[in-house]
Structure 1
C-alpha cells in the first residue's frame, strides 16, 4: 500500500466523499487503485456515519488528507468552497440513498452535499445500498434527477451477500471493482480536461 509521502507531485486532485455504508470499509483498496492508475493527490471527506464504519486514521494511510467532523477551527481550510477550489473532481464512494436524495433535491445536510452544490467540476456517485431500496421509485427519481443535472451515476454492480442476522442471501447493488471505478474516474477527468 502506498503512503501519502510516496505520491509523485502533479496529477489530478481527487476529492472522495465517503458516506455511511458498510461498503466504505473497502475505501482503502479503491484509493490505492485510483492512485496506482491515475497518480495525483487524494483528500477524503468523511460523513459522520462513514467514520462509524472505518476510522479516519485507517483511511489516512491511503490519502494525503482526511476531513471529518465539524470543528469550527477547521473551517478556513475545510469549508466547501475551499474544498472545491482545491480539487478537480468529486467521487462519492460509496453513495447512499441519503446522499443521492440530498444531491437530487439541492439539500445541504452535510459537508459532502454542500460540496456537491458548490462544485464546478465533475461529480460522480457510486451507489451502494439494499436491492429493494435501489428499486424504490423515489431513489430512481433521484438518480434520474442527478443525471439530468449533469452529474454522473454509473450503473452499480449487483452482488450476492449473506446476511448473518437474517440467515438470508441478498442480491444488492454496490460499487464496481476498484479497477472499474478508476477507469470511470480517469475518463471523466480526461473529458473535463478537453472540454
Structure 2
C-alpha cells in the first residue's frame, strides 16, 4: 500500500524551527510528507533543511515545475494538510481564500482534512479579527488547534505558543484514522481522568499500579481536537499537558474522587470518562517515618481499607440529566468467567453507560502506546476496537459517546 500523503505547510514565524521536529515525527511514522513553506518561513529555516528531512523537493511559488500544475495537484492528492506554525497572516489568507503562493493555493484545492496549528503573540491570537478568521475556518470543517500557553519570543509569556510537535503529530495521526477533522464535540464539556493513584505507606513507599495515563491523555487530546471543553484530572503521570486542556493534578484515590466530583458538577459536564486506575485499597494508617526492616526477618502487618468506588458514584449521582458516564475495566478473566463476562457484570454493577474492557497482557492496557478493547453499552451493544493507537480507541469512544449525549434545547 502506498504511503499516505501529507502536506506540511510552514508559516513565517519563529516557531517554524519546531516544524522540523514535527516533520520528523510524521516521516518516521511512514507518511510521505511534502513541505510547502511560505517565503517568510524560509527566512527562519532554509530550503535544504526541509528537503533533507522530507526527502521531497521544496517550493514556495506556483512557477516551479509549472508543467505539473503543483498548486492544484498537491491539494488534490493529499490525504491531510497540516499548517504549523499557522501565523495570523496565514489564517487570514486561508479564511478569505487568498491564493498568492503555493501554500495558500494548495489550501484552496485541498479536499482532505486540514489542520491549523497557530503560533503568534497573545494579542494577535485574541484580536477580534483573528477570532473571526478562526471561527470561519472551523465553520468550514478545518481543525484549528488552540495554541499553547507559555514562553513566546523575547520575554513575553501567554497563549500563542505553538503546540508541542508530539501533540500536533498525535492529532494528525488521529485525523488520518478518522478521515475527518470535523469538530463535532464543539460546545460540549467533558471530564477525563488519567493515571494511577498512589496510597502512601510511609514517606517513601506507596500502594499503586502500572497505569501510565496515556489512554486518558489520548482521550483528553482527541476531545479537545474535536472541539470540546476538556478538563483532565490526572494522577501521578509525568506526561506533558495536552494543548488546550485544563489539567488538575491529584495523588490519592480520595483526591481523585473529590476532583472528579467537582469537575463534573460545576459546571455540569456532558460526558465523564474514568480512564484512571484508582487503587482499590489504602492503608488504614500511614507511618510518619520510613518503615524499617526487622532484625528477626519478620514483615510488618499492613491493614487495608477499601477505597470509594468513584465510577459507581459518578454514575449514581450524575451532575445533570443525560450526562454520559464511561468507565474502563482492565481484566484478565478468571477460572470461571471470561474477560467479557466479567466486563458485563462490572458494567451492570457500576451503572455507567459505556465500559471499555481491556485485556491486560501482551502490551495491552498499561504502559504501552497501543491498546485494544471491547466497548460494552448499557443498551446491550458491543463494539470491538482492534489493536491500534490509544488515540484510535479514544476517537471510537467519543464516536459512541456523542449520540448518547442529550443536548439541552
* TM-score band, normalised by shorter chain: 0.7 to 0.9
Q: Distance in 1 between matches of 2:23 and 2:68?
A: 22
On the 8 A contact 2:18/2:165 being kept in 1, the answer is: no
Distance in 2 between the 1:169 and 1:45 partners?
A: 29
Higher-Rg member (1/2): 2
Q: Report 1:6-155 matches (<5 A).
A: 10-36=2-28, 38-70=29-61, 72-77=63-68, 79-155=70-146
- 1:129 and 1:186 map into 2 onto residues whose CA distance is 24
C-alpha RMSD over aligned residues: 2.0
After TM superposition, the structure 1 stretch with the greater mean CA deviation from structure 2, 17-26 or 27-36, is 27-36
- Contact kept, 8 Å, 2:10 with 2:83, in 1: the verdict is yes
TM-superposed deviation, 1:181: 0.8
Q: Give the whole-Å Cα distance in 1 for the aligned partners of 2:31 and 2:93.
A: 28
Distance in 2 separating the partners of 1:129 and 1:115? 22
Does the 8 Å CA contact 1:27/1:59 hold for their aligned counterparts?
no
1:192 aligns with 2:179: yes
- The answer on whether the counterparts of 1:17 and 1:44 sit within 8 Å (CA) in structure 2 is yes
Secondary structure of 1:101's partner?
helix
Instruction: Return the offset for 1:39.
Output: 1.5
2: CA distance, partners of 1:122 / 1:148 = 13
The equivalent residue for 1:182 is: 169
1:146 shift after superposition: 0.2
Q: In 2, Cα distance between the equivalents of 1:50 and 1:120?
A: 24
Ranked by relative contact order (alpha carbons within 8 Å, sequence separation 6 or more), the top structure is 1
Counterparts of 2:177 and 2:109, CA distance in 1 = 21
SS in 1 for 2:141: coil
Contact 2:60–2:101 under 8 Å retained in 1: no
Greater mean alpha carbon deviation, residues 143-152 or residues 109-118:
109-118
Task: Name 1:170's counterpart in structure 2.
Answer: 157
Match of 2:377 in 1: none
Q: How many residues align?
A: 181
**Aligned partners of 2:107 and 2:153: how far apart in 1?**
33
Say whether the 8 Å CA contact 1:47–1:110 is kept in structure 2.
yes
TM normalised by structure 1 equals: 0.85
- Note the alpha carbon deviations across 1:73-103, whole angstroms, 9 max, x for none: 5112352211123321110011011111011
Mapped contact 1:89–1:122 kept (Cα < 8 A)? yes
* Bigger shift: residues 38-47 or 137-146: 38-47
- Asked if the contact 2:150–2:161 (Cα under 8 Å) also holds between the matched residues in 1, the reply is yes
* Runs (5+) with no aligned partner, structure 1: 1-8
Distance in 1 (CA, whole Å) between partners of 2:164 and 2:178 is 21
